[in-house]
Amino acid sequence: MSVFISLIGFKGLILFVGGMVFALSYKYSINMFEWVEQQTYGTRSYIMEKLEFLFIEIPQDKLTYILLASSVGLGCFIFLLFGILGFWILGIIFGIICAFLGFKAPRMIVDFLVEKRIKAYSLQMVDALQLLSNGIRAGLSVPQAIGMIVDEMPPPISQEFNIILQQNRIGVPLEECFENLAKRVPTEDNDMFVSSVNILRETGGNLAETFDTIVDVIRERVRLQQKVDTYTAQGMFQGMVIGAMPYALGFIYYLQDPASMTPLFTTVIGFILLSFAVIFDLVGIYVIMKIVKIKI
């Protein structure tokens, strides 16, 4: 009798937990489906959009194959590699981890390239606006002065200003072209430049003097950013050294006494401890990099 009651109680608990899971899944189903889409097709669409910004042409089907190869392909390779060595459990665990990291890596690489391009654009703005100011003083119109930037400045700023000219030639108002530039390159300096141009074109004013003022502000901001980067370079180096130190010490201990380090890779408890150590190390590196990264 007691066994029957306990069995009913166990089934009731399962039904209760299942009902709660179903209710939560039903309530947040839209958010869950959006998250799944963002992590699959959304990732591919995001990368395609950023590659277009970088002027890198990759067909959508080839990008899909690249994502599959860097995630599923890498995970299967790691699994088979550990399996050949006889560590099937570690192969499954490391295969899943590598598949996850391989799927996230292309997005992080693209974000790094986008950030690098935006930084290069910001460094070129001083020369570009100075050239734009000189062209307007010489009697050129704004589109003609932009054409000078396209012809004489290197990428990426020449490419971005060339998009302005192309959009304007097909009938897009120049104000809207500048607003599109601010959306493509979302920096404070770019927003200030676009807002100044659009306001002065509507209300009237001396564009050349305004550009000179913007150039002074941007030049001072760049000088201050370079000084901050110099001061924080030591902190970033220390963060990388601290992050690499556990791996270097583990390698040294393995060379001195392999038997004491082998349980970390051959036992479940050792792997759990090693996983926690790696996670905490990565969290520490992330926190250090966030601290030493100062936005101007």
Within 10 angstroms of residue 182's Cβ, the number of other Cβ atoms is 16
Let me know if residue 229 belongs to a domain: yes
What does the alpha-carbon distance between residue 198 and residue 195 come to, in Å, rounded to a whole number? 5
Going from the C-alpha of 1 to that of each of 10, 35, 131, the distances in angstroms are: 14, 47, 92
Of 202, 220, 238, which residue sits at a domain end?
Answer: 220
Among residues 251, 247, 248, 252, which one has the least CA distance to residue 282? 247
Of 220, 247, 263, which residue sits at a domain end?
Answer: 220
Let me know if residue 203 belongs to a domain: yes
Q: Looking at residue 4, what is its pLDDT? A: 42
Helix (H) or strand (E) segment spanning residue 272: helix 268-292
Q: Looking at residue 160, what is its pLDDT? A: 92
Query: Is the Cα torsion angle 51, 53, 54, 55 positive or negative in sign?
Result: positive
Domain count, the chain: 2
Q: What is the pLDDT of residues 150-186, one digit of tens each?
A: 999 998 999 999 999 999 989 888 889 999 998 999 8
Let me know if residue 32 belongs to a domain: no
Q: Are 191 and 239 within one domain? A: no
Burial (0-12, 13-18, 19+ Cβ within 10 Å), 288: middle
Let me know if residue 145 belongs to a domain: yes
The runs of H, that is alpha helices, within 138-187 are 142-152, 157-169, 174-184
Of 170, 205, 220, which residue sits at a domain end?
Answer: 220
Q: Are 127 and 210 within one domain? A: yes
Q: Are 128 and 209 within one domain? A: yes
Let me know if residue 3 belongs to a domain: no
Q: Are 159 and 239 within one domain? A: no
Q: Which residues in the chain land under pLDDT 50?
A: 1-5, 7, 33
Q: Are 209 and 143 within one domain? A: yes
Let me know if residue 262 belongs to a domain: yes
What's the domain range around 157? 123-220
Among residues 184, 187, 201, which one has the least CA distance to residue 136? 201
Let me know if residue 215 belongs to a domain: yes
Q: Are 150 and 215 within one domain? A: yes
Going from the C-alpha of 48 to that of each of 33, 57, 126, 272, the distances in angstroms are: 21, 9, 30, 37
Q: Are 249 and 262 within one domain? A: yes
Let me know if residue 12 belongs to a domain: no
Q: Looking at residue 5, what is its pLDDT? A: 44
Q: Are 146 and 199 within one domain? A: yes
Task: Give the per-residue SS3 of 71-119.
Answer: HHHHHHHHHHHHHHCCCHHHHHHHHHHHHHHHHHHHHHHHHHHHHHHHH
